[in-house]
Structure 1
Amino acid sequence: MTPPWLPIETERLLLRDFREADFDPIHAYATDPEVIRYMTWGPNTLEVTREVLDRHLERQKTWPREQLDLAVEVRATGEMIGVVSLHDANTDNSSFGYCYSRGAWGKGYGTEAARALARIAFTELGHHRIWATCDVRNHGSYLIMEKLGMRREGHLLKNTQAHDGWRDSYVYGLLAEEWRAGNC
């Protein structure tokens, strides 16, 4: 059973379940060297993209979902531009993440989608806290977190294996009470 708040509409975006037609846009951003530069995965082969989409489609068959992965679509054009996720969605302390096609960068879509997902985490799912990490070199990613009202809680040294070796990560967090106070 899908919850009544899904799909999630924002001013410009639709956060929705994945569709078979999302294969090509996923594969396009998952093979773009600039998109995967700071990720721990990629570039995807066709087989890996197929596995990723199949996992998304399979997870959508149940509710509640352990991991809430939503396709991000531009409402005006219907273009699927990325993904936003809540990991451990059934707990009250979820990590979240996102990935967007390069053509979507710098337009505020990442912040808009993250804000909508945070609202769902705190109001519909009853989360106490959300948190996220990113490569310290990924300025665009941590700017989204800061615009959401998240605070930098730590700088982890060489904690994650990335494409170019061990990377440092920033950890960001946001409590429900902080979100409510600022209504980020």
Structure 2
Amino acid sequence: MKVKKTPLKDCFLVIPEIFHDHRGIFLETYHRRQFAEHTRIDTEFVQDNQSVSTYGVLRGLHYQKGEHAQTKLVRVIHGKVQDIVVDLRPDSSTFKQSFSVILDDQNLYQLYIPKGFGHGFITLSEKSVFAYKCDQYYVPGSEGGIIYNDPDLNIDWNFPEKDLILSEKDKNLPTLKDIF
């Protein structure tokens, strides 16, 4: 596995070694010791989640607050998404900055998202199967979010806004100014 720094502090792109032969492919999706050697971060994941979305579904920008804040390792099992993270840690040198990456079933990249980040993605294929590991259990009362089109974040989702499919909850998330 290769681990590359992103422009955001403590956020990493994980690039697997993919073995191809006449039967298909094989890869390790996570190796705790190797990841810790590359990053000096040792994360114990306790919960795996998966979502299935259709073309144009935007989920986010979500995060967990306080003692239930989650570090995540996200990937696409099937399809293609544009994944976006925003550093929401006020003490961070990259506070309020975002990073975007395409995750799909071809490159098989993963994104390591530390606690204190907002996260969202939009499905760019007919269907996506999105999986992620978390280092904390999900606690509904600790949910937080920021509206996907917050003018202060100026995120380019590279998708026509009129064609987005959002939950009612995601349509009504607050802006960054409302939170900080």
TM more than 0.5: no
Q: Which one scores higher on RCO, CA 8 angstroms, separation ≥ 6? A: 2
The structure with the greater share of residues assigned to strand is 2
The structure with the greater share of residues assigned to helix is 1
